[in-house]
């Protein structure tokens, strides 16, 4: 069984978080101000992405791994997997994240979102064959994604510079710290999985998620690194501010088209 808490890795992630991003400001008892977040997004690219040279090298490394290994497997997966089975597997793994959504909704004092997360997990687990059928959305309970990175942002923690991490992809110190906390400190349905089954399930989850992103590749244009960076930062701002869209930090004044947030 996966350990519920791995102190060295968790402390290492939190150290990176506070080293680059700094802790929350003195007003940590107040939710993040959307206007302050907007000012951050308006910062020049050199401030948001000061490690661009290094990030591009990591992006090229990840792209090589993806082109030669992960993407071909994901394409084969899409070819042989029936549509209903593919949706069912995606629904199953999404259902497991509802415990994370519930916990982080509580941390952010979002009572309604916590109720929705609990309701979705109950409906989909009991009536949706363990989560393979998303019956909760049909009951007007759409998913409200919440993670610890969003929780830190809600309480005023700065995101820090944009980072491209090996294998993990785009992130920031705040989001990486949230990722470590979500996976190693907070309760998760994955804690019930036994080895080696948990590794098979994780591998299937990675392939399934990569396969779901293949249609979104058609929307990519121009420099791939810049596109991914823009999409990631805009998506994170969208989630942290609960759908209140802010200015794209890198979009030109002549281009008013929003990135497709739901695809990233």
DSSP states of 27-48:
TTTSPPPHHHHHHHHTS-HHHH
Instruction: Return phi, psi of residue 230, to 5°.
Output: -60, -45
- Among residues 60, 50, 62, which one has the least CA distance to residue 166? 62
Answer for the pair 181, 10: CB distance below 8 angstroms, yes or no.
yes
* Helix ranges restricted to H, 21-143: 34-41, 45-48, 52-65, 71-80, 83-96, 98-107, 111-126, 135-138
DSSP 165: E
Decide if 4 is inside a domain.
Answer: yes
Residues 186 and 50: beta-carbon distance below 8 Å: no
Mean pLDDT (the chain) is 82
Q: Which residue has the higher pLDDT, 257 or 230?
A: 230
Question: Among 24-33, 80-89, 109-118, 252-261, which is the least confidently predicted range?
Answer: 24-33
Indicate whether 96 belongs to any domain: yes
Whether 100 is covered by a domain: the verdict is yes
Portion of the chain with pLDDT greater than 70, in percent: 75
* Domains of the chain: total: 1
Give a yes or no: residue 72 inside a domain: no
Tell whether 41 is covered by a domain: no
> Is residue 114 included in any domain, yes or no?
yes
Residue 146 has pLDDT above 60, yes or no: yes
Residue 45 lies in a domain: no
Average pLDDT over residues 80-99: 96
- Specify the pTM: 0.77
- Measured distance CA(144)–CA(181) in Å, rounded: 19
Residue 155: give the domain boundaries. Answer: 1-22+84-211
pLDDT at 43: 62
Structure-model confidence comparison of residues 185 and 93, the more confident one: 93
Q: Answer with the residue of higher pLDDT: 164 or 38.
A: 164
Return phi, psi of residue 170, to 5°.
-65, 145
Q: Is residue 256 part of a domain?
A: no
Instruction: Please tell me whether residue 67 adopts helix, strand or coil conformation.
Output: helix
Residue 30's pLDDT is 42
């Amino acid at each position: 069984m996966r350990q519920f808490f791995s102190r060295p890795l968790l402390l290492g992630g939190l150290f990176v978080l506070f080293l680059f991003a700094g802790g929350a400001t003195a007003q940590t008892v107040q939710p993040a101000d959307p206007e302050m977040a907007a000012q951050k997004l308006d910062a020049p690219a050199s401030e948001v992405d000061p490690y661009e040279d290094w990030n591009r090298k990591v992006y090229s490394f990840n792209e090589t791994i993806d082109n030669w290994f992960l993407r071909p497997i994901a394409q084969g997966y899409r070819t042989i997997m029936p549509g209903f089975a593919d949706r069912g597997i995606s629904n199953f793994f999404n259902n497991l994240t509802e415990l994370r959504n519930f916990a982080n909704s509580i941390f952010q004092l979002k009572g309604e979102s916590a109720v929705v997360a609990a309701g979705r997990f109950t409906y989909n687990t009991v009536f949706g064959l363990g989560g393979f059928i998303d019956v909760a959305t049909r009951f007007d309970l759409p998913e409200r994604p919440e993670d610890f990175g969003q929780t830190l942002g809600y309480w005023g923690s700065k995101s820090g510079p944009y980072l491209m991490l090996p294998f993990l992809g785009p992130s920031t110190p705040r989001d990486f710290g949230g990722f470590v906390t979500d996976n190693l400190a907070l309760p998760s349905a994955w804690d019930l999985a036994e080895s080696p089954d948990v590794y098979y399930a994780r591998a299937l989850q990675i392939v399934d998620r990569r396969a779901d992103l293949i249609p979104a590749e058609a929307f990519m244009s121009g420099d791939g690194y810049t596109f991914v960076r823009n999409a990631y930062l805009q998506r994170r701002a969208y989630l942290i501010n609960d759908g209140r869209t802010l200015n794209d930090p890198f979009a030109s004044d002549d281009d008013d088209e929003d990135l497709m947030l739901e695809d990233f």
